[in-house]
């Protein structure tokens, strides 16, 4: 199972939001590149970047940090946050990002999603599903729809999506454990490669996700608040 440390970028700083709330921001570092290099040194095989400003603005405000990370580390990077058109997808892939994560646009514009999958491939284009109580949230978590998350997964599979990041907003940044019930359902009822996100707090959480054979787990706050260390997580997966 792949462990992806999260680097959430806002104003070119490494931060964490609690439950996606921009009013509940905690800054962890003013030097995102140093954070990325730290994860690489500790043995991370992949990084998960989130352009938080991108989720609310079309401008690439965090481009300096993203460029610096991609140019200076040797491990692959995936990025999400406000990527809603082909221009932004291409801009990130041209920077050297390995995978681009689509969110709102995958829900709203299926034709564009399918075109991007055809143009760039399902290894480069993955989809993030952010949900609350099993319903899909969009626009940087600002709006919760009536779309059922599992139904959306089935539709995405039909469109050619192979990998998803599934975040339970109610769990994200709360350090209360993941939504195992939902992950079990997704593993049982879809063939998608699942990256679990939100609430991973303990080694028991990590072991349970591994036993469910999920493809990967994104860990953010538990690392930054030192509830978990990368080394002990990797050790428990051996």
Q: Provide the residue-wise pLDDT of the chain in tens; the chain has 238 residues.
A: 999 999 999 999 999 887 777 888 999 999 999 999 999 999 999 999 999 998 777 778 899 999 999 999 999 999 999 898 999 999 999 999 999 999 888 988 999 999 999 999 999 999 999 888 888 887 655 567 789 999 999 999 999 999 999 988 876 656 678 999 999 999 999 999 999 998 899 999 999 999 999 999 999 999 999 999 999 999 999 8
Rounded CA-CA distance 207/144 in Å is 31
- 98: which 2 tokens? 């390995």
Rounded CA-CA distance 121/203 in Å is 34
CATH of residue 174: 3.20.20.70
Q: How many CB atoms lie within 10 A of CB 48?
A: 27
Residue with tokens 């009822």: 189
Give the residue numbers marked as catalytic.
Answer: 8, 130
Please count the structural domains in the chain.
1
What is the structure's pLDDT at 139? 64
Write the DSSP assignment of 165-227 as a string of letters: EEEETTTTTS-S---HHHHHHHHHH---EEEEES---SHHHHHHHHHTT-SEEEE-HHHHTTS
Please check whether residue 179 is in contact with residue 214, taking contact to mean a CB–CB distance below 8 angstroms. Answer: no
What is the structure's pLDDT at 82? 86
Identify the domain containing residue 37 by its residue range. Answer: 2-237
What is the structure's pLDDT at 141? 53
């Amino acid at each position: 199972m792949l462990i992806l440390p999260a680097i959430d970028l806002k104003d070119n700083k490494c931060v964490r939001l609690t439950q996606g709330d921009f009013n509940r921001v905690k800054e962890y570092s003013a030097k995102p590149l140093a954070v990325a290099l730290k994860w690489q040194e500790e043995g991370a095989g992949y990084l998960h970047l989130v352009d938080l400003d991108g989720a609310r603005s079309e401008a690439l405000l965090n481009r300096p940090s993203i460029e610096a990370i991609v140019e200076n580390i040797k491990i692959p990077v995936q990025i999400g946050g406000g990527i809603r058109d082909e221009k932004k997808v291409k801009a990130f892939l041209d920077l050297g990002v390995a995978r681009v994560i689509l969110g709102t646009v995958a829900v709203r514009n299926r034709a564009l999603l399918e075109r991007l999958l055809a143009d760039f491939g399902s290894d480069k284009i993955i989809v993030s599903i952010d949900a609350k109580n099993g319903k899909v949230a969009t626009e940087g978590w600002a709006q919760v729809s009536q779309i059922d998350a599992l139904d959306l997964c089935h539709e995405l599979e039909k469109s050619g999506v192979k990998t998803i990041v599934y975040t339970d907003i109610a769990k994200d940044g709360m350090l209360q454990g993941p939504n195992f019930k939902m992950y079990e359902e997704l593993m049982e009822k879809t063939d998608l490669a699942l990256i679990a996100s939100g609430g991973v707090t303990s080694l028991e959480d990590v072991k349970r996700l591994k036993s469910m054979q999920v493809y990967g787990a994104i860990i953010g706050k538990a690392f930054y608040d030192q509830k978990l260390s990368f080394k002990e997580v990797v050790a428990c997966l051996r």
